[in-house]
Amino acid sequence: MKKLFFAALAVFAFSFSNAQDEGGSATSEGTWLIEANTGNAMLGSTSFMFASSDGTSQYNLGLDGGYFISDNLAIKAGLGFGGISPDVGDSVSAFSYRLGAKYYLGGEFPIGVDLTGASGDGAENGAGETPLWLGLQGGYAWFVADNIAIEPGLRYNLSLNEDFSDEGVFQFNIGFTLFL
């Protein structure tokens, strides 16, 4: 797991050091984006998260990437790996995936919709069902440089697999986006 984290960090640092401004805006057609988000303890996440309580640790590592198919509209995909490590008993691990789109209203208000799911050891509930979520989000893109944005936002994950969970998950997260 440490190797995966350091490999993702190295790719992000390399991309950051080689990012160049070609005269267009960060959300122009043909631009790529790499995004890291904070998250919560939800199974099926492509965010970064760590929590520990009463001898049980939960973690997740993930990144999203995307391509602007037109000005302000990007298609996105993400991968994540996470799990639960209790002091006693079996650990749980899962791979997460995300496919969706993100639109920057006015170039600075990101609105997103995506489909997120997970699979792996322990990703199923007692009935063998895996999570599947429809995510809706909105926020603000604060550009700290021409090609770097900090994006606080609100997200709601609606469960599409009622056999896994019939509850939605509401979350506040902060995204860090690099535009290439």
In the prediction, which pLDDT does 66 show? 97
Q: DSSP label at 160? A: S
If 0-12 CB within 10 Å is exposed, 13-18 middle and 19+ buried, where does residue 56 land? middle
The terminus-to-terminus CA distance of the chain in angstroms comes to 27
Q: How many folded domains does the chain comprise?
A: 1
- Range of the structural domain that residue 154 is part of: 2-179
Query: In the predicted model, is pLDDT for residue 177 greater than 70?
Result: yes
Alpha carbon distance 133, 112 (integer Å) = 13
Residues 61-100 have pLDDT tens digits of: 999 999 999 999 999 999 999 888 876 666 778 888 999 9
φ/ψ of residue 80, rounded to 5: -150, 160
User: Is the pLDDT at 160 greater than 60, yes or no?
Assistant: yes
Mean pLDDT, residues 24-47 taken together: 83
- Kindly tell me if the per-residue pLDDT of 15 is higher than 50: no
Q: What CATH number does residue 49 fall under?
A: 2.40.160.20
The larger pLDDT score, comparing residue 75 to residue 159, is at 75
Q: Count of CB atoms within 10 A of residue 102's CB?
A: 24
> Which residues is 107 bridged to in the sheet?
none
Proportion of the chain above pLDDT 90, given as a percent: 45
Question: What confidence score (pLDDT) does residue 4 get?
Answer: 45
Under 8 Å CB-to-CB from 129, ≥6 apart: which residues? Answer: 161, 163, 164
pLDDT for 14: 47
- Position 162 confidence tier, pLDDT thresholds 50, 70, 90: confident
